[in-house]
Structure 1
């Protein structure tokens, strides 16, 4: 589902001319940037994470954070 949603979003943004930076990480699933301490998780969150395949993926998270910050700096930063 995640890959299809990313591709669909990219198509929509391209069709309306919105600048974007979409990257699909094939080895990372939903919630790949969420690094939660297991001690802070509830039984329900643990169950939902297991069912949905939500799992932190360090390499993808690091790249995604770098890309998000670069995109925001380019498009939202006001130096004046």
Structure 2
């Protein structure tokens, strides 16, 4: 099975959560500041690109119409 693991140094758990601080409650803003859980645009864009590419490869493999060994859906 294919694996694709990348560690983004310095990134907290929620680096892909692109919520704007003004959209969050005051408690969540404080929690995010102290936990290091903040959105990071370059890391999030790279991670999303890699996630989409992974699923694109995996789903295409499973639905390839020219391969009789693979299920069609």
TM-score (norm 2): 0.72
TM-score computed with the length of structure 1 as normaliser: 0.67
Is the radius of gyration larger for structure 1 or structure 2? 2
Unaligned runs of 5+ in 2: 66-73
Between Structure 1 and Structure 2, which shows a larger proportion of helix residues?
Answer: 1
RMSD of the TM alignment (CA)?
A: 1.6
**What residue ranges of structure 1 are gaps of 5+ in the alignment?**
1-17
Moved over 3 A (4+): 77-80
Instruction: Number of aligned residue pairs: give it.
Output: 63
- 5 Å matches for 1:1-80? 18-77=1-60, 78=63, 80=65
